[in-house]
Amino acid sequence: MAAAVLVPFAAVAPAQPAAAQARTLTVATDGSDSGPGTVAAPLRTIQRAVDLAGPGTVIRIRGGTYDPDVNIRIEKSGTPSQPITMRAYDGEHVAIDGENMPNTPAPSGESYPRVERGAIHVSGDWWRFEGLEIVNGPYGIFAIESSNNVYKDLVTRDNYETGLHLVLDSSDNRVINLDSHGNRDPRKNGESADGLAIKQGAGSGNVVTGARLWNNADDGFDSWDFLTPIRVEDSVAWGNGFDRWGFPGWEGDGNGFKLGRGTADHVVNNSIAFDNAVGGFIDNGNPGSLRLENNTAWANGGSGFVFDRSASTLNRNLSVADGAGVDLGSSGGSGNSWDLRDGWSNADLVSTSASDIKGPRAADGSIPATDFLRPRGHAGLGADLGEDDGGGGPAPVRHEAEHAPATCDGAIDADHPGYSGSGFCNTDNATGVAARFTVDADSPVTAALVIGYANGGSGGRPAEAVVNGSTTGPIPFAATGAWEVWATTTITVRLDPGGNTVRLVATGSDGLPNIDYLELSPGEA
């Protein structure tokens, strides 16, 4: 706790218990759980703050190491308009160390109760976790049947299972700028400790952006038996699957991005897998129609791309210096390095130095901008984490019209191909009908909102944007020529910190066009 807020003990009035559902609660290593949870008289344990929190509460954790004897359990939920936030206090370094918890590690070959998994165990919805480091836990974060959560600017390292693990029915979760490394599983000899796993469940709208996943026992990213599409973008996985701990009977798989087993049409864009023990990007027996665009595999022990058991589409991907050639089976695509020519080598790359991509993140939390593995003379090929693409700036956040918390005054349909996600909003034909989205902002910002739509009618379908109850301007929604022809239009709005309600409201009697998504691209503040 900062010295500026300390006063002589004799002058301090008896502390009062913190009020339930206080808007802000502060935790510090020298606090007291009988205190009010203010900056001057903080709580001592994170669990006490969780117990007192309600919708809209912000839990601010002062710098230091917190080493509880049992895991932190989050079993309550915020709301769409009032999520609960747990974050480091004003950029201070916060470490949650699980070494004193049970099952660190669990005995070899044995299981243990799910509620004991994770230094932070999450079974609630509508939470935001920001700026925390979680180490030495029985899993770092273990989230089970939890949705609409944001995991941002986290470090999960050296845990005794996967760093960040989402399991069972889980939807509309966002993982942003995660660093997850050195996670291992002595009880399974490396078989299941990944950097990030979204496994054994279903749920739409899960998105991973800007993750770095390295030196984990099993894989960088694993979507084993998750049966709904996951979107991964602008992420990097390296050094996974090597036995760095001397385990007997090593069983680590060693892939950068493992995208199976169950049927799901996962999407991976603008990501890099390098120096993994076995594969770069693999379908792992997923028979679905995956889509991979502008990814790069380099110097992996096996193949850079293995999609021989799926019907996937691969476009503009790059494979160089991997231990084996690509293995596509019946999967197809175009513009990939293997479509262009044979014989790619390191001499075809601008840089093979990984120092930038492994270095400190940018001030906004993004992966450092770099020319690492960019091909010479092929601007549109492979992943690009340079200044203008990928790293170096905030990534767009897409909100699908068919996924909660979005709502539609009409029906979610899927009868006109070409849309993003699993459907689109088809409103009733009436004035005043709307498609509603909730858009998060960390601070006041002027932002560009890109709207995907199709208008197969003979003329425009006028509408207006209403943000937090205030009309911001008209949207013409010009005709696109057919309902299968999708287009975008962009509006500029002012967003407040927290959740913002954005409504697209029809001002004509034909209602809105079909609305596919709303995508946030941060602009000038």
Residues classed as catalytic: 258
Q: Are 142 and 197 in contact (CB under 8 A)?
A: no
**Whole-number Å distance between alpha carbons of 377 and 119:** 47
Closest C-alpha to 520, from 441, 450, 430, 417: 450
**DSSP characters for 319-363?**
EES-SB--B-TT-EEES-HHHH-S---GGGBSB---TTTTSPPPT
DSSP label at 226?
B
Q: What is the DSSP string of 399-434?
A: EETTSTT-EESEEEE--SSS-STT-EEEE-SSTT-E
Beta pairing class for 24-27 and 424-427: unpaired
Q: Confirm if 523 and 472 have CB atoms less than 8 A apart.
A: no
For residue 193, which of 208, 177, 213 has the smallest C-alpha distance? 213
13, two tokens: 């009035």
Other beta carbons within 10 angstroms of residue 474's beta carbon come to 12
Q: Which long-range contacts (CB under 8 A, 24 or more apart) does 141-144 make?
A: 141/165, 142/114, 142/117, 142/118, 142/167, 143/118, 143/167, 143/170, 143/173, 144/114, 144/168, 144/170
Angstrom distance (rounded) from CA 524 to CA 393: 12
- Position 292: which residue type? L
| Contact between residue 175 and residue 196 where contact means Cβ atoms under 8 Å apart | yes
The Cα angle at residue 54 between residues 150 and 152, in degrees rounded to 5:
15
> Cis omega before residue 405 (within 30°)?
yes
